[in-house]
A and B are shown apart, each in its own frame.
Chain A
């Protein structure tokens, strides 16, 4: 497991007496999709926020590509190729879809301390942004304001922005929530195609998608990892059936 791209050791987060993440340890191998599932309130989004650097952890260690990034902030992690998508979209509502993506391209393509040339005339930025929009199915929405897109389109744009940072590891927080059936199918195909280039940590409630995509699945219950294994192992695990799948069925 030493070649794991992301290695999380005993990560914890608590708010006062409330322990949201307890001693979480996972390894994500390069080129894999590692799904984290669990009932509502299990602390999945908190864990993603800790991994992305949005939240500081109280204890534990996050090692990414051989580097201890526990103390790095979100921007520094993004620049190292660790990007995330948000469950509740945080797009720039007054920017067009294209501008939202172009800004993410700009973040790693040259200095942003340029004060004179209009960014809209930089074809390199726009062209690359367009390819990301096209790959997420938003090519015909490029000039629409992000704030005026439909819920599903916002999810797609969220993903296009994350891809524009050229991540090596992508943390996906329920990317399919709120998308229509066709859009969801398209995104699942996209993730499958991306897998050769981008490693992914996926939080998702859509079990069909999880079991179709994931190489490994971890089950998170009350902030603790109950079990980690292949999709088949996890599906068969009695603890999981009791803690999670049982609840889903009920």
Chain B
């Protein structure tokens, strides 16, 4: 009898997640056919935009780990985009063009930064945490702004995109696109497993009640810090891709506007659901690029949309879809 009920209990969350997982798989499938469709319609620029959308979806996914699952509202997450981008710029100058090496270096630098700043930031709570992460993000920003050998304020152009195992696979837009898609799927799958793992349970538990976690013997700090480091490392992957996509690196990647935008992506898509975070990243960039086509004052319309969503659609797009009855699964 015990056995039966445990199977029943374990099955419940799985059906709960299945809806979201299907949605994510659908997104991957649609993205996979973007390049051929764009070619058929003779709209090559769509591939470039779609690549950018996916890059920011990776960044949004990484932020969701700490913000959505750990309830740690970091306003300094854009710093890791910068670390990834500058890892590409610095290493390619030193003659190391391999994407894998660049990603590993970006992750290592991000891990160190996240470990140190996370350990300090996690001493604080609530608005203090938001503000101290913002401050660390600004520190990183000003560090690169003042780095004149890397172009300072203006940033610096790259000589070429990175290579993979010596081959210039990223050189054309399609190669860049599919490399990004593969990394997006990898990050999504990794985080999906992670959120269900023992570690993910503890992290989610600290979000729901830190007191309860302590009462069963968990100190939240090491788990929160680990998540903070993982999130930083994954976001730096998005930074590596961003530098490659633009063939250009600039401190603007790590400005507080970017950090705010990452939060906006999550809130738009729905916090604490990886599919929501991913769709939030995709939609936000699509919206920006789309609006920018119509008017140079696109920020006006974009800002209004954000205000309206915040006022009238708590839970972002997934909340809206749920209310409209289009998606049933809950949080």
Q: Is the CB of A91 within 8 A of B212?
A: yes
CB under 8 Å from chain B, chain A span 83-133: 83-84, 86, 90-99, 102-104, 106-108, 110-123, 126-127, 130-131
How far apart sit A250 and B279, CA to CA, in the bound complex (Å)? 63
How far apart sit A78 and B200, CA to CA, in the bound complex (Å)? 21
How far apart sit A108 and B10, CA to CA, in the bound complex (Å)? 21
Closest Cβ of chain B: how far from A113's Cβ, in Å? Answer: 6
Q: How many A-B residue pairs have CB under 8 A?
A: 138
Q: Is the CB of B198 within 8 A of A112?
A: yes
| Given A54-B211, A90-B211, A121-B10; A103-B197 close (CB under 8 Å) | no
Q: Is the CB of A106 within 8 A of B198?
A: yes
Q: Is the CB of A115 within 8 A of B6?
A: no
Cβ–Cβ < 8 Å partners of B199 in chain A:
112-115
Q: Is the CB of B5 within 8 A of A52?
A: no
Closest Cβ of chain A: how far from B220's Cβ, in Å? Answer: 9
Q: Is the CB of A78 within 8 A of B217?
A: yes
Interface residue? A164 (CB, 8 A)? yes
Kindly identify which residue among A74, A94, A119 contacts B214, using a CB–CB cutoff of 8 Å. Answer: A74
Cβ–Cβ < 8 Å partners of A84 in chain B:
215
Q: Is the CB of A117 within 8 A of B197?
A: yes
Q: Is the CB of A118 within 8 A of B197?
A: yes
Which candidate, A6-14, A135-143, A226-234, is the interface stretch facing chain B? A135-143
From A140, which residue of chain B is reached at the shortest CB distance? B5
| Given A120-B14, A123-B6, A130-B5; A115-B216 close (CB under 8 Å) | no
B interface, size bucket: 35 or more
Kindly identify which residue among B201, B214, B216, B223 contacts A161, using a CB–CB cutoff of 8 Å. Answer: B216
Interface residue? A195 (CB, 8 A)? no
Q: Is the CB of B2 within 8 A of A134?
A: yes
From A161, which residue of chain B is reached at the shortest CB distance? B216
Closest Cβ of chain A: how far from B151's Cβ, in Å? Answer: 37
Closest Cβ of chain B: how far from A112's Cβ, in Å? Answer: 5
CB under 8 Å from chain A, chain B span 180-230: 193-194, 196-202, 204-205, 208-209, 211-219, 223, 226
Interface residue? A75 (CB, 8 A)? yes
Q: Is the CB of B2 within 8 A of A130?
A: yes
Cβ–Cβ < 8 Å partners of B211 in chain A:
54, 86, 90
Q: Is the CB of B209 within 8 A of A91?
A: yes
Q: Is the CB of A99 within 8 A of B201?
A: yes
Q: Is the CB of B208 within 8 A of A119?
A: no
How far apart sit A143 and B8, CA to CA, in the bound complex (Å)? 7
Cβ–Cβ < 8 Å partners of A115 in chain B:
193-194, 197-200
| Given A52-B215, A120-B196; A139-B5 close (CB under 8 Å) | yes
Q: Is the CB of B215 within 8 A of A142?
A: no
Kindly identify which residue among B6, B200, B223 contacts A126, using a CB–CB cutoff of 8 Å. Answer: B6
Q: Is the CB of A92 within 8 A of B215?
A: no
Chain A 50-75 interface mask (CB, 8 Å, partner B; 1/0) = 00101000000000000000000111
Cβ–Cβ < 8 Å partners of A197 in chain B:
none
Cβ–Cβ < 8 Å partners of A161 in chain B:
212, 215-216
Cβ–Cβ < 8 Å partners of A102 in chain B:
201
Could you say which of A93, A94, A96, A110 has the most chain B C-beta atoms within 10 Å of its C-beta?
Answer: A94
Q: Is the CB of B214 within 8 A of A126?
A: no
Closest Cβ of chain B: how far from A120's Cβ, in Å? Answer: 5
Interface residue? A165 (CB, 8 A)? yes
How far apart sit A217 and B5, CA to CA, in the bound complex (Å)? 40
Interface residue? B126 (CB, 8 A)? no
Interface residue? B331 (CB, 8 A)? yes
Kindly identify which residue among B2, B3, B8, B217 contacts A107, using a CB–CB cutoff of 8 Å. Answer: B217
Kindly identify which residue among B8, B202, B217 contacts A142, using a CB–CB cutoff of 8 Å. Answer: B8
Cβ–Cβ < 8 Å partners of A94 in chain B:
204, 208, 331
Interface residue? A79 (CB, 8 A)? yes
Chain B 212-252 interface mask (CB, 8 Å, partner A; 1/0) = 11111111000100100000000000000000000000000
Could you say which of B11, B13, B198, B226 has the most chain A C-beta atoms within 10 Å of its C-beta?
Answer: B198
Q: Is the CB of B9 within 8 A of A92?
A: no
Interface residue? B94 (CB, 8 A)? no
Q: Is the CB of A106 within 8 A of B201?
A: yes
Q: Is the CB of B219 within 8 A of A75?
A: yes
How far apart sit A112 and B205, CA to CA, in the bound complex (Å)? 12
How far apart sit A139 and B208, CA to CA, in the bound complex (Å)? 23
Closest Cβ of chain A: how far from B188's Cβ, in Å? Answer: 14
Closest Cβ of chain B: how far from A243's Cβ, in Å? Answer: 31
In the complex, the 7 A-B pairs of residues with the closest C-beta atoms, listed nearest first: A78-B217, A118-B196, A143-B9, A104-B216, A142-B9, A107-B217, A92-B208
List 5 contacting pairs A-B, 8 Å CB cutoff, sorted by A: A78-B215, A90-B211, A113-B226, A115-B198, A143-B5
Given contacts A90-B212, A96-B12, A142-B8, 9 further A-B contacts (CB under 8 A): A86-B211, A96-B9, A106-B202, A115-B198, A119-B201, A120-B10, A121-B10, A122-B198, A143-B9
List residues of chain A with CB under 8 Å of any chain B CB. 52, 54, 73-75, 78-79, 83-84, 86, 90-99, 102-104, 106-108, 110-123, 126-127, 130-131, 134, 139-140, 142-143, 161-162, 164-165
